[in-house]
């Protein structure tokens, strides 16, 4: 019979948290920003088909960093949860708060009970009628849930990105402005200004950008607020930055 | 552990990773499926046809839908009446719905079930799009609808049939296409035009004379309104244009730009043209 070594619960949780944190910090960042026109989701992602941001429901979107297979299964579960709920009740009854709490519970259960915690960090966001009614929930690997205001930064060098965005982000901005602010933060690694020494150049081919329109019914005749920006649209938004 | 084969990790994961909303519902919450009520209604002793006097309770029935091809797309139109035996159950029911960005769905038959099937089908298409990240092909959509109608077969045999008509723009072939169904879920591609519901025979007769290849959109709308007018003329379960209440048929077109609902003022103009020309002609039949 093998002897089980005693490990204190504190140590066990700390080890698991360190393990998950390391996995998440290795990845590239995702930024979600609320603004006058809606919510923009900006990810540094060289792949055009393996998405980091996705549509969940009419006014709800999902963004994630970490291991692709883990957050993709969580995203699909979220789509199923939202569609079943909307189908059995009504489309208006699907809320980001409900979804975020289900995510928090499942992440928490996996963190404490499973062999390995999920190495992911998620944002569940819902666009409201006004910027004050936007909901941005950040969910971490251990099931913690935070209700953020303004913007959420996940993965990579979160400290410096937060710092850069705190300088450049304002709540009255429109989509091109917040997207440029986010891309500036991502490429400048905190320096903020593009073209500065040490700043990387992030072209449209390295970016995955989607938006939640605040009023999709009048602008596009659709109740689905989620819209992915094509590489050409991203180039158009970023191109004006040089002028 | 073998990589493929039933019972392997791969097949378990592939099985649970369905992109179909109705399959997922069938597995996790079968009571939410429209067909699930067949169990509840199973005790009903229904004769072969659910006509008057059958044990199936009288429920609203949706009536005539017409659809046709026009230059660059397809059009679908439905009247606004639902009947329950000899009573008008609704004067403004809508029976044509956008299924997604590039397809529309019209329903005839038991209204309650048909509306449920429509709702499920809309979620099915959106669900696939969100899970897979791409739109389902038009053939794929038509097949999924067939499977749903087949799921309703038990109820159809008790007299609660749902008969849809499906039209969409095929983005691969760059053409509008039209599909009809029978109660067993059989799917048939229709060319030129088609109609379903109690007034379908009369509408079809009208379409045979009025429809021409390569109609433009406005002309197609006028043809649809006139075909429904003829159906309403001879079928008591089909509602004609209601000038008193300002109720017009529901008409959707689908082309490369997507689904468009024809606004009421265009339909009012088309209906008034038909009424005026019939008044001038002053003929009996």
Does residue A180 belong to any structural domain of this protein?
yes
Least confident of A48-62, A104-118, A185-199, B204-218: A185-199
Cα–Cα distance measured from residue B185 to residue B226, given in angstroms and rounded to the nearest whole number:
30
Beta-bridge mates of residue A30: A43, A154
CA distances for A224 relative to A58, A218, A228, angstroms: 4, 11, 12
Q: Which domain holds residue A57?
A: 27-239
What ipTM was predicted for this assembly? 0.88
Q: Is B48 within the bounds of a domain?
A: no
CATH number at residue A178: 3.60.20.10
Q: CB of B96 within 8 A of CB of B77?
A: yes
> pTM for the whole thing?
0.88
B4, part of any domain = no
Give the chain A residue nearest B259 (alpha carbons).
Answer: A221
Within 10 Å of residue A129's Cβ, how many Cβ atoms? 10
pLDDT digits (tens, 9 = 90+) for A202-235: 888 889 999 999 998 888 888 899 999 988 889 8
Task: Please confirm, yes or no, whether B63 is among the known catalytic residues.
Answer: yes
Mean of pLDDT values over B98-126: 91
> B5 lies in a domain?
no
Predicted confidence at residue B166, as pLDDT, reads 95
Average pLDDT over residues B35-56: 51
The edge-to-edge listing of strands for the beta sheet with A60-66 is: A53-57, A60-66, A120-126, A135-139, A145-148
Residue A27 has pLDDT above 70, yes or no: yes
Residue B110 lies in a domain: yes
Q: Which of B267 and A196 is assigned the larger pLDDT?
A: B267
- If one counts the domains in chain A, the total is 1
Whether the predicted pLDDT of A158 surpasses 60:
yes
Q: Does A94 touch chain B (CB under 8 A)?
A: no
Q: Which of B25, B29, B133 sits opposite A51 (nearest CB)?
A: B133
Return the residue in B16, B97, B130 with the most chain A beta carbons within 10 A, the one to mutate for interface testing.
B130
In a domain, B200, yes or no: yes
Residue A48 reports pLDDT greater than 90 = no
> Pick from B25, B119, B130: which is nearest to A84 by CB?
B25
pLDDT at residue B87, rounded to an integer: 87
Q: How many domains does chain B have?
A: 1
Q: Is residue B6 part of a domain?
A: no
* CATH number, position B214: 3.60.20.10
Q: Which residues span the domain enclosing B174?
A: 57-281
The answer to the question of residue B15 being in a domain is no
In a domain, residue B270? The reply is: yes
Q: Which residues of chain A lie closer than 8 angstroms to B26, CB-CB?
A: none
Contacts of A217 in chain B (CB under 8 A): none
Mean pLDDT calculated for residue range A5-28: 87
The two three-digit tokens of residue B123, written as one number: 């979620």
- Exposure of A62 in the CB half-sphere (CA atoms within 13 A): 26
Cα separation values, A226 from A41, A125, A137, A229, B56, Å: 10, 11, 17, 10, 44
Query: Which residues neighbour B166 within 8 Å (Cβ) at sequence distance 6 or greater?
Result: B99, B103, B104, B105, B106, B141, B142, B145, B178, B179, B180, B181
CB contact under 8 A, A88 and B29: yes
CA distances from residue A210 to A61, A179, A200, A230, B89 in whole angstroms, order as listed = 9, 10, 21, 9, 45
Handedness of CA A117, A118, A121, A127 (dihedral sign): negative
């Amino acid at each position: 019979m093998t002897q089980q070594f005693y490990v204190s619960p504190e140590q066990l949780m700390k080890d698991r948290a360190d393990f998950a944190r390391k996995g998440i910090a290795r990845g590239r960042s995702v930024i979600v920003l609320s603004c006058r026109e809606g919510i923009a989701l900006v990810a540094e992602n060289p792949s055009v088909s393996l998405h980091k941001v996705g549509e969940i429901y009419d006014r709800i979107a999902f963004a994630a960093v970490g291991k692709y297979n883990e957050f993709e299964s969580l995203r699909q579960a979220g789509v199923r949860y939202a569609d079943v709920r909307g189908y059995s009740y009504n489309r208006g009854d699907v809320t980001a708060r409900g979804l975020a709490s289900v995510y928090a519970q499942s992440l928490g259960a996996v963190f404490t009970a499973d062999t390995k915690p999920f190495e992911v960090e998620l944002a569940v966001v819902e666009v409201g009628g006004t910027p004050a009614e936007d909901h941005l929930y950040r969910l971490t690997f251990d099931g913690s849930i935070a209700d953020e205001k303004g913007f959420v930064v996940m993965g990579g060098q979160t400290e410096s990105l937060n710092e850069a965005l705190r300088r450049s982000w304002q709540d009255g901005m429109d989509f091109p402005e917040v997207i440029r602010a986010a891309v500036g933060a991502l490429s400048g690694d905190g320096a903020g200004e593009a073209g500065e020494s040490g700043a990387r150049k992030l072209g449209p081919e390295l970016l995955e950008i989607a938006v939640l329109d605040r009023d999709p019914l009048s602008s596009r005749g659709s109740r689905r607020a989620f819209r992915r920006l094509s590489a050409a649209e991203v180039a158009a938004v970023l191109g004006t930055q040089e002028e | 552990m073998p990589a493929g084969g039933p019972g392997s990790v791969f097949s378990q994961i592939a099985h649970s990773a369905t992109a179909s909303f109705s399959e997922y519902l069938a597995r996790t919450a079968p009571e939410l499926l429209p067909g699930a009520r067949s169990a509840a209604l199973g005790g009903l002793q229904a004769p072969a046809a659910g006509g008057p006097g059958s044990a199936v309770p009288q429920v609203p029935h949706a009536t005539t839908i017409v659809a046709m091809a026009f230059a660059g797309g397809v059009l679908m139109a439905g009247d606004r009446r639902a009947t329950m035996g000899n009573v008008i159950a609704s004067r403004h029911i809508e029976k044509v719905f956008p299924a997604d960005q590039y397809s529309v769905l019209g329903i005839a038959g038991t209204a309650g079930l048909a509306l449920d099937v429509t709702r499920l089908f809309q979620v099915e298409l959106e669900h696939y799009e969100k899970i897979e990240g791409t739109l389902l092909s038009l053939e794929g959509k038509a097949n999924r609808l067939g499977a749903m109608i087949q799921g309703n077969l038990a109820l159809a045999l008790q007299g609660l049939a749902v008969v849809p008509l499906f039209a969409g723009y095929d983005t691969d072939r760059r053409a509008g296409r039209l599909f009809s169904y029978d109660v067993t879920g059989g799917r048939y591609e229709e060319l030129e035009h088609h109609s379903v519901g109690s007034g379908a025979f009369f509408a079809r007769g009208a379409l045979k004379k009025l429809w021409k290849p390569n109609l433009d959109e406005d002309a197609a709308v006028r043809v649809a309104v006139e075909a429904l007018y003829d159906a309403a003329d001879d079928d008591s379960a089909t509602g004609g244009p209601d000038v008193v209440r300002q109720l017009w048929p529901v008409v959707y077109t689908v082309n490369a730009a997507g689904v468009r609902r024809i606004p009421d003022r265009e339909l009012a103009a088309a209906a008034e043209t038909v009424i005026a020309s019939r008044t001038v002609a002053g003929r009996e039949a």
